[in-house]
With several copies, the nearest count.
Chain A
Amino acid sequence: MKLNILYFAATRDTVGMDGETRDFPAGVATVADVLAALEREGEQYRAAFAEPSCLRFALDQVFVGIDAPVRDGAELGIFPPVTGG
C-alpha cells in the first residue's frame, strides 16, 4: 500500500524532510499502524512521533484521528497542533 506522506512544522524538522512516498506492507491499516511502521525505520521517526497525543493527522487533506483507516494512494499529513490565525 502506497502513501504520500507530508510533514509540517516541528514534525518536518525532526523527520528531516518535507514528505515522502512510501510502500507499506499488508497489515498497515490505520494512521497508528503507519506511525509504528515508520518508527521501525529510524530514530528520526521515533523522535518525531514520541508523543502521538501531540500530533495531528489529515487524510486527503481532511483532519482524522489516529485510528482512521488508510487506503492505497492516500495523502497523509502529519503535523503538530496548528497555530495560525
Chain B
Amino acid sequence: MIRTSVQAEAFDAAAELAALGGDGDAGALVSFTGLVRGEPGSTLELQHYPGMTERQLDAIAGEAAERFAVLRGRVIHRYGLLHPGDAIVFVAVASPHRGDAFDAARFLMDWLKTKAPFWKRETRPDGTAHWVEAQAADNEAAALWD
C-alpha cells in the first residue's frame, strides 16, 4: 500500500505524486521531498546498508499504514553521490482527510531519519570531508510517535 524504493537514480516526484491522487477516494495528498543543502561545489555522499535498508523502509511504511488512514503511499530514498538541490528522499501519502496525510508523511520522515540505515558524508568545495552527525532533535521528533 505504501511502496518503497532504495535507488541511486534520480526520481520524478511529479509523476510519483500524480500516481497517488486516485479518482475520488482521497481528499488529501501530502508530499515531502528532502533536498541536499549546501554551497555550490559541495557534494553529499549517501552510504547505506543494502538489504537492511529495504527491510527498514518496508517496516516503517507498514507501521505508518497501521497508524494512519492511508489509501496509497510512496517512499523513495536515494544513495550515492548527490549535489546541492538534488532530491534525497521522497515521501507521499494519499488519505481521505488531511490530518492523516500530514501525520503519516511526518511520521514516515521522523522514523526514516532515525531508523533507516543511511549515512551522509559531506565534502566541501575545498575538499575537506566529514560524516554528518546525528541530530538530537531527530531522536526527539521520532520519540514523539512512541
Q: What residues make up the interface of A, taking CB atoms closer than 8 Å to B? A: 6, 8-10, 12-13, 58, 61-63, 77, 79-85
Contacts and interface: CB of A to CB of B under 8 A. Distances in A.
B52 A83 contact: no
B116 A79 contact: no
B2 interface: no
A77 B118 CA distance: 13
A81 B138 CA distance: 11
Given A58-B52, A61-B55, A82 B116 contact: yes
Interface of B: 34, 46-49, 51-52, 55, 77, 88-89, 109, 112-121, 131-135, 138
* Interface of chain A, main secondary structure: mixed
Given A9-B131, A10-B131, A83 B51 contact: no
B112 A84 contact: yes
27 contacts: A6-B49, A8-B48, A9-B121, A9-B131, A10-B131, A13-B131, A61-B49, A61-B51, A61-B52, A61-B55, A62-B52, A79-B119, A80-B131, A81-B134, A82-B113, A82-B114, A82-B117, A82-B134, A83-B118, A83-B131, A83-B133, A83-B134, A84-B112, A84-B118, A85-B89, A85-B113, A85-B116
